[in-house]
Structure 1
Amino acid sequence: MRFAGRVWRLLVGIKDGLVLVFMLVFFGVLFAVLTARPSPAEVRGGALVLNLDGYVVEERQPVDPIRAFVTGETPVGEYQARDLVRALDAAATDSRIKAVVLDLDRFLGGGQVHLTEVGAALDRVRAAKKPVLTFATAYANDGMLLAAHASEIWMDPMGGTALSGPGGNQLYYKGLLDRLKVDAHVYRVGTYKSAVEPYFLTGMSPESRENYQALYGALWSEWQADVAKARPKADVALAANDPTGWMRAGGGDLAQAALRAGLVDKLASRDEFEARVVKLVGADSWSDKLNGYTATDLEPWLEQLGTPSGGAAIGVVTIAGEIVDGEAGPGTAGGTRIAELLDGALENEDFKALVVRVDSPGGSVLASEEIR
């Protein structure tokens, strides 16, 4: 019995040793495979891909994970204009980046000033002899303003461009209030205080119309001038000011109308677009996609750039979004929070200057006074 017990213990030891060796080999091979495959958060060169599935903003709002969980809604993407400009300027001088790709399929827009700054950065990439390519199923005003600065604009043949210009709709409640026999008492100072007009008028006043025509007319003229300068061969005036003639020239096809007007360069599917990028930057041997190309995403690219340094320190305080009372923000200008930032910056002796960036429609009088 002693002999049998020793043999049994020997067999158990051999079994445990083999299991241990097998586990070590298994996890070693697994580690080798995982480390050999490029990480999505790795700078790999090739094409710098800007997948702008949201808005270009002055200051990004923090994501509330609890709200996202409760509502079940995916937060809308926000991309700070200064981050995009910094990423593009670095790509223009970095030998690892061979091209820039803008995916504007889910682009929701941004302020005209911000888009103009990003467009200028795209021009600098092209000036460095690097191609800039964009793709979207359809282009609206803001998407077209960005795409105009690309060397190649691609669009799905089932899509189109919709250039409606700035503006919007305004509801007027005077008729409803009269039917309900409700009297609206409005107190205002100034000629162009149109915010309260819906309560005592049934339509836009001449002064309000003059105000909006001056504002939106200037924005629309600047938009057309920017696009025309970026794409001098495009018939921007026809597309922007004579939509009927523009559609007629395209035979009633929005995609063909955009192509013939020179607003886009190529009508093709996404697979064909990606095949074009492969020719420019090379195929990605790790990708499972049909036309996978070597690419670097925005976040890891910004991460490896680090924080700019050198020179004298300059403080920057951003007032972005509606001005409200309290500590709200970033992305919303909480009066108390902004006032504390300003006080802290003014007391900081390391700052040689202070820049206040304002991108706000206004808001609370009390909060505005607190900031002032």
Structure 2
Amino acid sequence: MKFLRNLLASIIGFFISIFLIFIFFIFIASLMGSPDEIIVKPNSVLKLDLTTSIKDYAPKDTNPLAEILELNDQKLALNKILNAIDNAKTDANIKGINIRTVYVNAGIAQTQAIRNKIEEFKKSGKFVYAYNDFFDQKSYYLSSVADSVFVNPVGMVDFKGLSTEILYYKDFEDKYGVKMEVIRHGKYKSAVEPYLTNKMSEANREQTVSFLKSIWSEMTEGISRSRKISVEKLNEIADNSNGRNADLAKESNLIDAVIYEDEYKDKLKSIVASKVNTISIQDYIKSGKGRKSSLAKNKIAVIYAQGQIMYGEGNEDIIGQGIINKAIKKARKDKSVKAIVLRVNSPGGSALASELIWRELELTKKEKPLVVSMGNLAASGGYYIACNADKIIAEPTTITGSIGVFGMIPNISKLTDKLGINAEQVSTNSSANYSVFEPIDEKFYKVTKEGVEQIYNVFVTRVANGRGLKFDEVDKIAQGRVWTGKQALENGLIDALGSLDDAIEMAASIANVDDYRVRNYPNYKKDIKESFKFSPFAKLSKEELLKEALGEENYRLYDNINQIKNIKGIQARIPFIFEVK
């Protein structure tokens, strides 16, 4: 009995000690990590450095330890950037904007949204200047909106037009005996093309050229307005790479002057006519300027669906029917929410998860107005969940459409034959089974093909009903073809071109609400172990560590290939490796 008492006392003492150590650690961390209050000083210039990863929605970690110990992932939220620039227009302490970003870590549509917001800012009469040691194409597109653009004497403006590159694996598959068995519907469904051939099909080349030209047209028209250079002249500059050095860039009117950074700082001082206080966009957001204050009781819910679509719960980077549907239900049941905006930024993914989200939105639409806002991508499964909204708004450079379906499974039968490995199967029934060690048989192919065709027909029917079109009309613009927002407006896949703010205003208008505030969903809750790691790399996410080790370009290749292992079931998505540059 005495032994048991001593054992119980030891166990209780152990847990009390752990608890006290934990409390002590939090106390020390709070003393060390408590950030100073950020004050926006008079004569401040807002510095726009967008090299940090930008997401449509980047909620703060709800775990207090993550905030105290600065364990939050480094990222910027597009909605907060846009709110901050909006607030800066009327902030007496902000004299202007300094665009100073070597790289814009955002998609084309996100970049366009920020550029448009800066255009609005300029109407306040405050200045916008831009400087770089060199400009890549995306950073120049953003910076060209400035009143004046400057570059380092040994710098350049990489202005050459858009291109994209797709890797093809057919010869690799034939050589090593490792292949992907593909069953698809949609002649433009290029997500699986790299596994079927060793070169680009004419259909894929046609759609790729089409949407690249559409995006380039949007970019050059924006630059043309800002720089007072005709679109024809801009294309001539791009054809001849006349931004390849600072002097040529100046001669071509891509920039206003060739100066060093210290000279640029002097220009900022002269225009402010005082000591310049620089505040970064990150700090400006932290000061409270990343949100719009409102005491309105009515709300417009904005539900963010970002990332590939996968069956399951989902998280901040993956759209799962679990978290998204909970958010939709919560907004639907909240009496103060008068309308809902679904912000989609997704290449698609699981057809099943897409259908489950579609159903929840269909139920919601019967009770409250539903408007969709499209970001960089709202393609395939991303369009599937959007198609039944009352209204759909996209950015001109949004990639959307890709209404097509495919199934894809690995097969290593040729490799195992070469290695002398034989697999024998035993089954109780003669159903259509599949083994990666055996060539795909006709029965399994037929059953899977029927599934793909069925889901394609459901997909097209959903779009036809949602857009008020006939099945054949949708089928003609479907087949897996990708469109830009500008093209989607022409073929009836969307209702208007515009920003997230435009979508919110439209939702409020449909709901007949004038005074409202925005409520963002979902709320993501991380397990404490995810946010709090006793490690020298605690402040670095897995993504950041891999980027540092592999480099930005190689990381994107790794990330795209890595997605293959997550594919389950029939898919509605655009290509894995797809980047406009």
Tell me the TM-score normalized by structure 2. 0.50
Distance 1:59 1:323 in 2: 16
Equivalent position amino acid for 1:220 in 2? W
Distance 2:100 2:72 in 1: 18
Residue 257 (structure 1) aligned with residue 259 (structure 2) = no
Residue equivalent to 1:51: 49
Question: What SS class does the counterpart of residue 319 from structure 1 fall into?
Answer: strand
Distance 1:363 1:95 in 2: 46
Equivalent position amino acid for 2:304 in 1? T
- CA 1:164–1:359: 2 relative to 1, 3 Å: farther
Residue 93 (structure 1) aligned with residue 84 (structure 2) = no
Confirm or deny: 8 A CA contact 1:99 1:280 kept in the other structure: no
- CA 1:53–1:263: 2 relative to 1, 3 Å: same
Aligned residue runs from structure 1 range 316-327, under 5 A? 316-327=302-313
1:133 corresponds, among 123, 129, 144, to 129
Equivalent position amino acid for 2:272 in 1? V
- CA 1:317–1:97: 2 relative to 1, 3 Å: same
Confirm or deny: 8 A CA contact 1:163 1:240 kept in the other structure: no
Residue equivalent to 1:104: 101
Question: What SS class does the counterpart of residue 223 from structure 2 fall into?
Answer: helix
Of the structure 1 ranges 194-203 and 159-168, higher mean CA displacement relative to structure 2 is found in: 159-168
Question: What SS class does the counterpart of residue 182 from structure 2 fall into?
Answer: coil
Aligned residue runs from structure 1 range 174-253, under 5 A? 174-181=170-177, 185-232=181-228, 234=229, 237-240=232-235, 243=238, 245-247=240-242
Question: What SS class does the counterpart of residue 302 from structure 2 fall into?
Answer: strand
Residue equivalent to 2:373: none
Distance 2:180 2:318 in 1: 30
Residue 298 (structure 1) aligned with residue 294 (structure 2) = no
Question: What SS class does the counterpart of residue 191 from structure 1 fall into?
Answer: coil
Equivalent position amino acid for 1:204 in 2? M
Question: What SS class does the counterpart of residue 149 from structure 1 fall into?
Answer: coil
Deviations 1:41-66 (A, max 9, x none): 21103212222222443123768x9x
Question: What SS class does the counterpart of residue 75 from structure 2 fall into?
Answer: strand
Deviations 1:138-183 (A, max 9, x none): 1122211211111111111121111243332212122222233556
Question: How much does 1:124 deviate?
Answer: 2.2
Distance 1:196 1:154 in 2: 44
1:308 corresponds, among 290, 293, 299, to 293
Equivalent position amino acid for 1:215 in 2? F
- CA 1:158–1:235: 2 relative to 1, 3 Å: farther
Confirm or deny: 8 A CA contact 1:321 1:332 kept in the other structure: yes
Deviations 1:328-356 (A, max 9, x none): 43243233111111111111111011110
Distance 1:335 1:146 in 2: 35
- CA 1:210–1:40: 2 relative to 1, 3 Å: same
Residue 272 (structure 1) aligned with residue 258 (structure 2) = no
Distance 1:268 1:353 in 2: 50
Aligned residue runs from structure 1 range 3-22, under 5 A? none
Distance 2:318 2:60 in 1: 10
Question: How much does 1:246 deviate?
Answer: 4.1
Residue 42 (structure 1) aligned with residue 27 (structure 2) = no
Distance 1:96 1:84 in 2: 18
Distance 1:321 1:327 in 2: 13
Distance 1:358 1:282 in 2: 44
- CA 1:83–1:349: 2 relative to 1, 3 Å: same
Equivalent position amino acid for 2:213 in 1? G
Question: How much does 1:307 deviate?
Answer: 4.3
Counting aligned pairs with the same residue, the percent is: 25
Superposition RMSD in Å: 2.8
Distance 1:118 1:192 in 2: 31
Structure 1 stretches lacking a partner, 5+ long: 1-38, 69-73, 285-292
Equivalent position amino acid for 2:277 in 1? T
- Larger relative contact order (Cα-Cα within 8 Å, sequence gap ≥ 6): 2
Confirm or deny: 8 A CA contact 2:224 2:234 kept in the other structure: no
Q: How many residues align?
A: 313
Residue equivalent to 2:347: 361
Equivalent position amino acid for 2:87 in 1? A
- CA 1:329–1:94: 2 relative to 1, 3 Å: same
1:335 corresponds, among 300, 321, 340, to 321
Deviations 1:264-290 (A, max 9, x none): 112112111111111122554xxxxxx
- CA 1:268–1:61: 2 relative to 1, 3 Å: farther
Question: What SS class does the counterpart of residue 207 from structure 2 fall into?
Answer: helix
Structure 2 stretches lacking a partner, 5+ long: 1-35, 359-581
Distance 2:37 2:49 in 1: 14
Equivalent position amino acid for 1:245 in 2? N
Question: How much does 1:204 deviate?
Answer: 0.5
- CA 1:164–1:325: 2 relative to 1, 3 Å: farther
Deviations 1:203-252 (A, max 9, x none): 011111111111111111111111111211x36544545546344xx7xx
Distance 2:292 2:313 in 1: 26
